[in-house]
Structure 1
Amino acid sequence: MAFGSQSPLHLLARLTVKVRILTLSLFTIVGLLAIGAVFFWSQGELNSAFTRMNDSSTLAEQVAELSEAASALRTIEKQYLSAPSSERYQAFGATLEQASAAVSKLVANGAATDHAARV
């Protein structure tokens, strides 16, 4: 009888019980190893996603801080132009330093440069 003409069930029936158990055990081990590999890979991806989310949150806070400083600069400028005074001039300088500090934080933030490179 040729090997190709035998049905898979007939071939399985010819195997000893020990070989069948060993084969099932090997399939189980390979399956568990695959599940474990996918689990550890997904854990790495999840940690990476949380890190990116945290970086994005920090970036959003820094951009909001810069936006607030820019808005304050516009308000002080309008007030100064309507009625110039040394207090408003000093307030503008202090707010400008805050805006410069916010820009420095943005430049130092790696998420900002990574986003700019992707765009």
Structure 2
Amino acid sequence: MTPDLWSYPNGVYDMGLNPDIIGFDVQATDGKIGSVDEATYEASQSYIVVDTGPWIFGKKVMLPASVVTQIDPAERKVFVSRTKQEIKNAPEFDETAFEQPDYRDRLGEYYNRFPYTGTL
């Protein structure tokens, strides 16, 4: 069963507490991709925006909450279930339209191509 793309998998964080993960390192399955620039915790609308720094020439990427597999507050790390290349190939982050349904639909079409690997 595949959960909502825009919801965090069960057990990723305490639903009663929205952790402040701004500035946490983001770890893809094959290494660090940047740090969290923004994060939301709204039901069925959650995402993180990652500042990739020099890795993709200072660009940002938006990741749906369902790709987050773990948040480690002690290590200040967020782990995601995608490779660097999968993230790099995602639709370009559009700072003016990222909250619009059309942009989310395009991003959702891209990320739905990959098998779900989180916890139900």
Structure with the largest fraction of helix: 1
Structure with the largest fraction of strand: 2
- TM tier relative to shorter chain: under 0.3
Q: TM-score, normalised by structure 1?
A: 0.23
Q: TM-score, normalised by structure 2?
A: 0.23
